Every structure is written in C-alpha cells, then in structure tokens.
C-alpha cells in the first residue's frame, strides 16, 4: 500500500505544480485551442486561445510517479511477491497511455499549427488507435509472467491480457483465442479513447470522470493483490488469476493523482485543456486497466458516463442519416444540455454524479462477486 500512496502523492504534486509551468510554456508557444464560434455554445465564450495539450503534464507525472512508487516498493517486506523490477504489465499500461497520447498530440499539434479545430483526419486517428491497440495487445497476450518461488518453481505464468472474455473474472465459456483477444483489445482501446475524447468538451468534465474510474481500478487491482493466486501466503480458492495486480494499482493510483492535480487548473474556468493528448492517453490507460484486471465487460458500467455520451453521438448520427432529424439539439450529450440553458458548471457536476453512480454500481458488483465466492 505504501508504494501506491507514494505514487499517488508524487503524481499529484508533479501535476499540481508543473501544470502552471505548462500553461506559460504553451501560451508562449501560442499553442491555444482553436474554438468554433458559430455553434452557439455558452461554454465557448472566452475560451479562444486557452492553452491545450495539457495531457502531456499528467502523462509524464504518471510515468515519473510509477518510478517513484517502485523505489518505495523496494523497501516492502513482501517485495518478493510484488516483482520489484518493472514488468511487462507496466510496459503495456504505460505504453497504451503514452502512445495513445502521442496520437492525440499529433492531432492537437495539427490543430494548433493550422489554427483550425480540424486536426488529424478520422482515418489517421483511427489508424493510430488500431496500431497502438494491436502492438500492446499482442504484447499483453503473448508474453506470460515468469515469477518463481525460492525453489525455482513457477508461481505465476499469467499474461497481462486474457484469451477469455471477462466480466469480474475470466468467463471460461467465452474463450476467444489469442488472435481474438488482440482484436478485442483493439476494440476496447478504440472505444475507451473515443469515449473519453467525446466526453472532453466542458471544463473538468472528462478529467473528473476519469479520476473516478482510475481510482476504482486502483481499488480493484489492490483488492486483487491482497487476494492474489500468485501470493504463496494466500491459499484460498477464490483468489484472482491476474498478472502483477500491485503494478496495476500503482499505475491507476498514479494516474488518478495526476488527474486530480491537473483538475485544479482544468476546472471552470479552465486555464488549460487536456486536448486529445490527454483524452486519448487516459482512454488508452483505462482500456489497459480493464484488460489487465480481467474486467473488460465491467468497463461499460464502470465508465457509464463515457458510454452514455458516446451513444448520444451514435444515436444522433443514425437518426440524422436515416430520417434527416436530430434527436438532440447537439451531440455529444453535454452540448445538448448547454443549448437547453444549463450552465457549464451544472452540467459538469451532474455528469460527475452520473459517473460516480456507474463507478459505485461496478464496485458493488465486483465486491458482491467476491462475497458470493467466499460464501
């Protein structure tokens, strides 16, 4: 637990104190977010020129905090079951965050350079998401752990990702094979990155919702670590067959802490936007969390707000293309309520409540499954 707390604290402090520096740097570089002024949105008033690409700060803060957490991990008495050296789990999770963020960075850079809200085209962004998901999905599925006990016997041969679809644990009846698993990981990466990206549109909305989801994954992963099948001191049959759960908890906690520090400056009125850099980076990491904790089918509940907002866009497109009519005044959904007269702060707080409800339901299902297994 000490390592997770250290990672959270370091990430929070780096993000909190380095974000103002990033604001000044991006403002000096004139890296302001292009704003479309013809949409009639009250939230767009006065936001032109606000620095973007702030996701760079909390992505770097997460990586640095991971290293700090590992330094604290070396002092743990049970470090022999925690795998003190960095693992492939960390490579996959941080890789998904960094390289998904890199795709978003290219998009943000092109927007800033062109002084236009259209950055990387849809095909380019989609290709980047597929490439990132495929590379790290393959690593997650094809490289098992090599943890051994004092006698040299294997204690954990799990891969980061599973060849079986999972809800709260792997569902044996839903075996999909390695190639199928990589395809599923690509789909989850695409869904999560686009979900967070669509949610990012009002000050602090996507950041606050992501904090809740990442904090939930930190709790889930740490609970799995305390009931881990690879722990020689834990012999109960209802243990969790995952790989490196403490690594997962450490990274999830670090990312949540980094987002809280960033939210200090990103809340209304925002002094900096996370941009596609941050939105895609967070989406990639959240997808990795679902994969590594074996809770892929729980993600739509845990990230319920992202699903609702994404579906509002899908419904709007289908309705307009088939009937010529719009269901919402504007999509994504948060802009519909803006045009209905809700203030930006009201929308953000109420949507945070929706996000919190989804997280609470998902955690309840996770824990109730454990109680059922115990009983």
* pLDDT value at residue 31: 79
In percent, the amount of the chain with pLDDT more than 70 equals 90
pTM over the 0.85 mark: yes
pLDDT exceeds cutoff 50 at 80: no
- Give every CB contact of residue 292 below 8 A, 6+ residues apart in sequence: 89, 92, 93, 140, 160, 161, 221, 242, 243, 244, 248
* Residue 24 CA: distances (Å) to CA of 31, 259, 336: 10, 19, 33
From 283, 217, 291, select the one nearest 251 (Cα to Cα). 217
**Which residues make Cβ contacts (< 8 Å) with residue 278, sequence separation at least 6?**
53, 54, 55, 56, 58, 59, 101, 104, 200, 206, 207, 262
The answer, yes or no, to whether residue 143 has pLDDT greater than 80, is yes
Instruction: Report d(CA 327, CA 322) in Å as an integer.
Output: 12
Top pLDDT among 268 and 72 is at 268
Domain residue spans in the chain? Answer: 1-374
**pLDDT beyond 60 at 79:** no
Average pLDDT over residues 326-351: 93
Distances (CA, A) of 125 to 120, 187, 190, 332: 6, 14, 10, 19
| Residue 144 or 83, more confident | 144
- Output the CA angle 41-352-284, nearest 5 degrees: 90
Average pLDDT over residues 48-73: 91
Beta bridge pairs of residue 228: 240
For residue 75, pLDDT over 80 is answered with no
| b/e burial code for range 274-312 (CB count within 10 A of at least 16 → b) | bbbbbbbbbbbbbbbbbbbbbbbebbbbbbbbbbbbbeb
197 labelled ligand-binding: yes
- The answer to the question of whether 276 is labelled as a binding residue is yes
User: Given this model, what pLDDT does residue 153 score?
Assistant: 53
pLDDT tens figures, 160-181: 999 999 999 999 999 999 999 9
Q: Per residue in 40-55, pLDDT tens?
A: 576 666 677 789 899 9
pLDDT band at 30 (very low <50, low <70, confident <90, very high): confident
Report which of residues 110 and 223 the model is more confident about.
Answer: 223
Q: Which of residues 46 and 189 earns the better pLDDT score?
A: 189
């Amino acid at each position: 637990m000490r390592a997770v707390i250290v990672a959270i604290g370091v990430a929070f402090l780096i993000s909190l104190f380095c974000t103002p520096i990033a604001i000044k740097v991006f403002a000096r570089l004139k890296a302001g977010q292009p704003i479309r002024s013809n949409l009639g949105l009250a939230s767009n008033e006065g936001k032109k020129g606000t620095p973007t690409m702030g996701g760079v700060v909390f992505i770097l803060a997460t990586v640095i905090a991971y290293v700090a957490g590992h330094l604290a991990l070396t002092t743990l008495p049970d470090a022999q079951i925690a795998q003190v050296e960095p693992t492939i789990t960390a490579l996959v999770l941080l890789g998904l965050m960094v390289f998904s963020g890199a795709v978003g960075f290219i998009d943000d850079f092109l927007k800033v350079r062109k002084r236009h809200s259209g950055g990387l085209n849809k095909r380019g962004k989609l290709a980047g998401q597929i490439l990132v998901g495929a590379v790290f999905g393959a690593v997650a599925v094809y490289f098992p752990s090599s943890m051994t006990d004092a006698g040299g016997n294997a204690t954990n041969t799990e891969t980061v990702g599973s060849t079986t679809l999972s809800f709260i644990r792997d569902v044996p009846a839903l075996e999909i094979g390695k190639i199928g698993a990589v395809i599923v990981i690509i789909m989850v990466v695409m869904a999560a990155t686009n979900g967070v990206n669509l949610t990012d549109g009002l000050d602090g909305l996507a950041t606050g919702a992501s904090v809740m989801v990442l904090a939930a994954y930190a709790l889930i992963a740490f609970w799995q670590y305390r009931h881990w099948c690879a722990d020689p001191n834990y012999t109960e049959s209802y243990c969790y067959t995952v790989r490196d759960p403490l690594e997962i908890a450490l990274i999830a906690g670090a990312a949540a802490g980094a987002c809280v520090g960033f939210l200090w400056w990103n809340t209304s009125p925002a002094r900096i936007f996370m941009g596609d850099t941050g939105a895609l980076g967070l989406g990639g990491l959240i997808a990795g969390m679902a994969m590594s904790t074996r809770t892929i089918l729980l993600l739509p509940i845990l990230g319920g707000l992202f699903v609702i907002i994404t579906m509002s866009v899908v419904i709007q497109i289908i309705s307009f293309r088939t009937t010529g009519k719009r269901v919402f005044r504007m999509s994504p959904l948060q802009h519909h309520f803006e045009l209905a007269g809700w203030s930006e702060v009201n929308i953000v707080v109420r949507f945070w409540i929706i996000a919190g409800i989804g997280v609470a339901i998902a955690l309840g299902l996770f824990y109730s499954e454990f109680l059922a297994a115990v009983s």
